[in-house]
């Protein structure tokens, strides 16, 4: 197994990012725990004032709805005075009749509830959310903004522009701790956002005291966290350039060289710009200031093995009057200065030539990816669908990177892809399948983000997540995933059947049966009830080997739906699957029941023909065969007469027509399925929504090609 690479961070709930980037230099962008929809946000209020003495309680009042400052210390309650000693035998003073002061519920702007309900009633209406956020910004109401933004990011954590707006609002109210918390939450949700990183760094530079060494250390740590999280992005040039300029301002030229050494090996859009800037950096600064002592010694030793040719003697020039040097000194000084300059130039040339090969390799990597990058027209998140050409470009780019790129670059590209294609199931599925071969923890994190935030109502990704957990042995988690999704999106047969199959695989046949019975009762009177009845009968017959139980299930279902062709067909198939010599009576009962039922005439014709075929091949009584043949001829004549009637101007009665759902599997060459679950191929596709196709079983006894119907 390959070594575990970087994993995409989960989107934290409010308060979950405290200290994620830290005060030091290793800002974190890793997972913070199991993601999911955060708890309902509660506006953070300043602590209440201390309870006044008895005589002052009447003057106590709730704090204003919007504080002028959120910095905590300015509005923290004062330390309580030491109470006077009370004798143990003294009873406590009587309670004040009024309840103690509690944190008041903040008041919201007049129309806030209208916008709030519009968004909460339909969480997938992006426009309703943007109108809510626009309203709270206009009102400049901190508590309303917190409630709205926190709820919004539970559904759309990739909207980096709204993270910036949220942080700016906290900053306007001088809430420095909350501002940093918002930045950290946003960067954990979307660590590839260059704009959000730069906005956060700009905020720190404007608020920290840059004369303090810890402030320098913190900003450097945030820069390092930024390039570690997003530095491999093809469009990360602005971040790298900002880091270089900041280190120049600090006067640390060696750090600047170190940054260039890293970015020169990164395939980025402005790779050539970084190369030119690096050469300027080397040519305009002394080597001892830009190179580490180890590299400088190495370069000097390398140059020593290649002696520098002696420079030509400089021609004598007249010195200004009064500045004549002693004889012999002037020539030596000039030669030493020339030799020193020559050594400096040689060092610079060697330093640049050493990086030249890295630059050439990086240029080749950029050229391989340039067309893919040029095809990315919308690298950010939006709810509007992407064009097919862009989706195809993402697929091809991912395939290329997985085949030719490093694991780290592949992870970064996947993260970029699921930002732009967050609402497309296929890319999340592709991501999890890739990660499953490298890191189970990383794959689980992606499943959690996809299902918890971006695709909460998509069945395929949830089914794959449950299968993934089952494969890892986390059966309870697999059950929870399926159960919760079924509560979110009820009525999907594919999910209920996956729950049934999970229990069956674990040998919990009673639980599997209970789930099917529950589904039958929940859908009584609906077509799904017969669907689940067939599934339950199949389980009883094929898994539990209990034909009597299976027969009872289908017979009871037929009592409720006597005109259901599929129930008749599946019961017949089940009876036929038993020993035909011992089960001839039950099989014939199926035929008789179908022919007496209110089935359409076309269906009865097929059942009649199948009865003749069955008796011809397996019947034990010639009288039964002849009787069935005579009855079949009568049905054929009646059917032919009805077919001629419309030609003479009479319409066929609606109740005698075979419904499209009933005709499949009866009129075609494949009449019934062997296992009795899915006769034909098309109608049950309806129940397996989102491409969860039917099982097309072949019919073992198809006699249509041998027998004529006339």
For the full predicted model, state whether its pTM sits above 0.75.
Answer: no
Predicted local distance difference test score (pLDDT) of residue 30: 38
Does residue 35 surpass a pLDDT of 50? Answer: no
Tell me how many domains the chain contains. 1
Between 586 and 27, name the one with better pLDDT.
Answer: 586
In a domain, 260, yes or no: no
In a domain, 518, yes or no: yes
Domain carrying residue 511: 405-686
Q: How do residues 172-231 score in pLDDT, each as one tens digit?
A: 999 999 999 999 999 999 999 999 999 999 999 999 999 999 999 999 999 999 999 999
In a domain, 508, yes or no: yes
CA distance 41 to 148: 9
In a domain, 648, yes or no: yes
Contact predicate 544/504, CB 8 Å: no
Does residue 41 surpass a pLDDT of 60? Answer: no
Contact predicate 243/198, CB 8 Å: no
Long-range CB contacts (< 8 A, 24+ apart) of 175-179? 175/69, 175/70, 175/71, 175/142, 176/70, 176/71, 176/207, 177/70, 177/71, 177/72, 178/44, 178/70, 179/203
Q: Which of 87-91, 392-396, 437-441 has the lowest mean pLDDT?
A: 87-91
Contact predicate 575/586, CB 8 Å: yes
Mean pLDDT of the chain: 79
> Residue 661 sits in a domain of what CATH number?
1.25.40.10
In a domain, 444, yes or no: yes
In a domain, 26, yes or no: no
Q: Report the 10 Å Cβ neighbour count for 118.
A: 15
3-class secondary-structure state, position 319: coil
Tokens of 487: 């509560």
Predicted local distance difference test score (pLDDT) of residue 450: 97
Q: Rounded to the nearest 5 degrees, what angle is found at the Cα of 78, between the Cα atoms of 72 and 84? A: 155
In a domain, 416, yes or no: yes
Query: What's the mean pLDDT in 262-269?
Result: 96
First to last CA, the chain: 66
In a domain, 274, yes or no: no
């Amino acid at each position: 197994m390959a070594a575990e690479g970087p994993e995409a961070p989960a989107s934290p709930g409010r308060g979950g990012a405290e200290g994620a980037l830290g005060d030091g230099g290793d800002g974190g962008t890793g997972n913070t725990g199991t993601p999911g929809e955060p708890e309902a946000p509660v506006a953070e209020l300043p602590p209440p004032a201390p309870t006044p003495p008895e005589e002052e309680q009447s003057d106590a009042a709730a704090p204003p709805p919007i504080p002028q400052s959120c910095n905590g210390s300015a509005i923290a309650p004062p330390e309580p005075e030491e109470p006077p000693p009370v004798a143990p035998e003294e009873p406590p003073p009587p309670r004040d009749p009024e309840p103690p002061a509690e944190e008041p519920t903040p008041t919201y702007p007049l129309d806030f509830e209208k916008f709030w309900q519009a968004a909460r009633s339909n969480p997938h209406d992006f426009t309703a959310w943007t109108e809510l956020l626009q309203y709270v910004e206009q009102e400049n109401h901190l508590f309303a903004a917190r409630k709205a933004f926190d709820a919004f990011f539970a559904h759309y954590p990739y909207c980096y522009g709204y993270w910036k707006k949220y942080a700016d609002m906290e900053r306007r109210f001088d809430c420095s701790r909350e501002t940093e918390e918002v930045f950290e939450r946003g960067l954990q949700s979307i660590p590839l956002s260059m704009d959000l990183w730069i906005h956060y760094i700009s905020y720190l530079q404007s608020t920290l005291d840059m004369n303090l060494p810890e402030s320098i250390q913190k900003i450097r740590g945030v820069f390092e966290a930024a390039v570690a999280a997003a530095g491999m992005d093809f469009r990360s040039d602005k971040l790298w350039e900002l880091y270089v300029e900041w280190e120049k301002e600090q006067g640390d030229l060696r750090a600047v060289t170190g940054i260039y050494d890293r970015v020169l090996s990164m395939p980025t859009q402005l790779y050539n710009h970084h190369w030119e800037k690096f050469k300027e950096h080397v040519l305009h600064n002394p080597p001892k200031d830009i190179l580490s002592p180890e590299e400088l010694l190495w370069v000097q030793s390398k140059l020593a093995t290649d002696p520098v040719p002696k420079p030509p003697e400089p021609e004598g020039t007249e010195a200004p009057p009064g500045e004549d040097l002693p004889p012999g000194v002037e020539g030596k000084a000039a030669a030493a200065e020339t030799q020193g300059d020559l050594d400096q130039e040689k060092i610079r040339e060697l330093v640049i030539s050493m990086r030249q090969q890295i630059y050439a390799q990086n240029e080749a990597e950029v050229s391989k990816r340039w067309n893919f990058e040029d095809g990315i027209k919308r690298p950010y998140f939006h709810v509007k669908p992407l064009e097919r050409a862009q989706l195809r470009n993402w697929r091809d780019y991912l395939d290329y990177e997985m085949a030719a790129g490093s694991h780290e670059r592949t992870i970064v590209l996947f993260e970029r892809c699921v930002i732009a294609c967050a609402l497309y199931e296929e890319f999340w599925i592709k991501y999890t399948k890739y990660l499953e071969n490298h890191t189970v923890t990383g794959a689980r994190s992606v499943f959690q983000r996809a299902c918890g935030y971006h695709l909460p109502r998509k069945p395929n990704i949830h089914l794959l997540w449950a299968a993934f957990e089952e494969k890892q042995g986390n059966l309870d988690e697999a059950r929870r995933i399926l159960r919760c999704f079924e509560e979110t999106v009820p009525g999907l047969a594919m999910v209920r059947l996956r729950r049934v199959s999970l229990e069956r695989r674990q040998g919990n046949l009673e639980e599997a049966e209970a789930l099917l019975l529950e589904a039958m009762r929940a859908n009584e009177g609906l077509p799904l009830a017969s669907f689940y009845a067939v599934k339950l009968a199949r389980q009883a017959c094929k898994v539990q080997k209990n034909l009597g139980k299976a027969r009872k299930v289908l017979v009871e279902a037929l009592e409720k739906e006597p005109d259901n062709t599929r129930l008749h067909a599946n019961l017949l198939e089940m009876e036929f699957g038993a020993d035909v010599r011992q089960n001839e009576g039950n099989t014939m009962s199926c035929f008789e029941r179908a022919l007496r039922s209110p089935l359409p005439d076309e269906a009865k014709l097929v059942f009649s023909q199948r009865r003749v075929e069955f008796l011809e091949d397996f019947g034990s009584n010639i009288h039964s065969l002849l009787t069935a043949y005579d009855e079949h001829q009568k049905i054929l004549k009646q059917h032919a007469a009805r077919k001629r009637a419309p030609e003479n101007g009479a319409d066929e009665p609606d109740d005698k027509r075979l419904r499209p759902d009933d005709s499949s599997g009866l009129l075609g060459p494949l009449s019934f399925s062997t296992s009795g679950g899915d006769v034909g191929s098309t109608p049950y596709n309806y129940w397996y929504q989102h491409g969860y196709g039917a099982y097309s079983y072949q019919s073992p006894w198809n006699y249509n090609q041998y027998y004529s119907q006339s």
